[in-house]
Structure 1
Amino acid sequence: MSGLIPNASKSVVFFGNVPSATQDFSIATSGFNRGVLPVIYLGLPLVSGKLSLRDCQPLLLKISSKMETWGNKYISQAGRAQLIRSVIYGLQGHWSDCLFLPKNILKKIQSIMAKFLWKGTQQGPCFYKVAWKHCCLKKTEGGLGFKELLGWNQCVLQWQIWRIIRQEEHSLWLIWISKYLLRRRAFWTMQVPDKCSWGLRKILNARASVLQRVTYRVGRNSCFLLWHDPWCLRSPLLNRYGARAIRLWNLRTWRLLVP
């Protein structure tokens, strides 16, 4: 219809619950290759479940290859620390901003960075002069100012919750959350759905920790849910008084309105 012709060598087709005969006919007609999940987009695997070691292998290989290249040159310890801050944390941050990395992957990355910092190469044993958790302290506290990756993961979870409750962005993911996940439900008081992806389950389970850091300011033109949003003492009224209080409130309000 547009007059454009898709490039068969650059196009792939994915099937879900489609008969084999229909798949073979579609491939023969279009000339496309059959795609295999997970899909790599902008260097990231597009998966709906928990990331496995196989999914994160490209990240680990990229970090290791960078350090092997630097290990062939004479770099001081201060230079290695700067490379970790500017390059390695940039690679890991690109993944963490879009995907929630499992703890075993984050510990593996921290182990690679610690070995490179103290030895300069990944080959052979290494003597660690200071524990990595002490290296992640501020410089004023005697550390090296590195970011603790497990804490970074928690920050990313809380940032995603911040995006959901503000509802000021127009990304496709937030629109899907509003139309599908939050349909006739409130974010702070809803139950975790049984059929829920691993990433969304992590976000919903992190709500309790975020409640201690979020403050609703009530004023003119405020927009919030009376019973479900934590506008009073950082806790939803539904959790404090229960659903029975809502029914009693609605009943009394209805009686007051009746002439």
Structure 2
Amino acid sequence: MTMPTYAMSCFKLPVRLCKDINSLMARFWWGEENGQTKMHWVSWKTLSTGKQAGGLGFKYLQSFNKALLGKQIWRLLTCPDLLLSKVLKARYYPKTTLFNCEIKGNASWIWKSLMSAREVMQCGARKQIGNGNNTRIWEDAWLLEGKDGKIESSKPPG
């Protein structure tokens, strides 16, 4: 289970590959040995239940892949002084935010992979106000409650 974790934190794995890896894990537990099929002691749902709840903690690879990519997006947001953060910002969103940038056709596979998890991160991410200089109160998601974390009332004219 740990072998694909590093690759999954950088790249979005194809759906077919995730299914193949799940199939290999299932065959290990339920396949055959010396021409005889193995006993199915528990269901896959039980195997994928968390360890604290009595399962073995196997993960659904597609969801786990998206979570790891979301973690990388979180690092870009919270650690803007990292070299990787600076390079990606300069290349893909120099004049906008990570959540508002366009995904261009000539973007790298890494960037496209990260952007596949952007929606998940956008649902829960909120801007920290700080001194308020960089906050656009009508456009940014900064409220803990409400629709999308944004102000629901209309913007006043002027």
> Does TM-score exceed 0.5, indicating one fold?
yes
Is residue 200 of structure 1 aligned with residue 111 of structure 2?
yes
Q: Please name the residue that 1:154 is paired with.
A: 66
The alignment's TM-score, normalised by the length of structure 2, stands at 0.73
Structure 1, gaps ≥5 residues long: 1-88, 253-259
* TM-score computed with the length of structure 1 as normaliser: 0.48
- The reply to whether residue 163 of structure 1 matches residue 75 of structure 2 is yes
Task: Indicate the structure with greater helix content.
Answer: 1
Write the distance in 1 (CA, Å) between the matches of 2:29 and 2:133.
Answer: 50
Q: Work out the percentage of aligned pairs sharing the same amino acid.
A: 24
Alignment of 1:86-97 (within 5 A): 89-97=1-9
- Match for 2:15 among 100, 103, 106? 103
SS at match of 2:2: helix
- Note if contact 1:211-1:235 (Cα within 8 Å) is conserved in structure 2: no
Distance 1:236 1:148 in 2: 32
Indicate which of 113, 128, 132 corresponds to 1:217.
128
8 Å CA contact 2:140, 2:150 repeated in 1: yes
> Alignment partner for residue 183 of structure 1, among 77, 82, 94?
94
Task: Work out the CA distance in 1 between the residues paired with 2:39 and 2:93.
Answer: 48
TM-superposed CA distance for 1:91, in Å, is 1.5
Residue correspondences, number: 153
CA deviation string 1:72-129 (max 9, x = no partner): xxxxxxxxxxxxxxxxx222212222332212112111111222123586x7674562
> Which amino acid letter does the alignment assign opposite residue 211 of structure 1?
Q
Alpha-carbon distance change, 115 to 223 in structure 1, aligned in 2, over 3 angstroms: farther
Q: Using CA pairs below 8 Å that are at least 6 residues apart, which structure has the higher relative contact order?
A: 2
Q: Partners of 2:134 and 2:150 in 1: how far apart? A: 11
Shift of 1:137: 0.6
Question: How far apart are the structure 2 equivalents of 1:224 and 1:205?
Answer: 26
Choose 1 or 2 for highest CA Rg.
Answer: 1
The answer to whether the 8 Å contact 1:106/1:149 transfers is yes
Structure-to-structure mapping, 1:45-64, within 5 angstroms: none
